[in-house]
Amino acid sequence: MLPRRKAHLRARELPDGATMVMAPDGSMALLLNPMGSVVWRLCDGRRGAAEIAGFIVRELPDAAAQRVLSDVESLLGELRVAGLIDDAAGESQPCGSIDSEL
């Protein structure tokens, strides 16, 4: 599965590295911590959970790879249940906007 941010959502990165994800009509908002923000930005429909976890482990070499993968999979599950991401299944579609990039 290739998680992809839903196109109708907006996201704003905050000064502390957290990200606020919002529905355009203001009906929903979610605050992601800095690590959740990294996962969110990597949900572009081109990377699976293992690749996202691999990116984090490369950036934080002291992190336990299996724990990172488990945490990423858990967060992706929560984002999916909340309706914030879907699975691209190899498709290339536009993602929701975000105010800053990795």
CATH no. of 3-85: 1.10.10.1150
What is this structure's pTM?
Answer: 0.81
pLDDT at 96: 41
Please give the backbone phi and psi of residue 97, each rounded to the nearest 5 degrees, phi first. -80, 155
- Write the pLDDT tens digit of every residue in 12-47: 999 999 999 998 887 888 999 999 999 999 999 999
% of the chain beyond a pLDDT of 90: 71
Is the model's pLDDT at 7 over the cut of 70? yes
Is the model's pLDDT at 57 over the cut of 70? yes
Compute the distance between CA of residue 65 and CA of residue 53 in angstroms, rounded to an integer.
7
Compute the distance between CA of residue 10 and CA of residue 22 in angstroms, rounded to an integer.
5
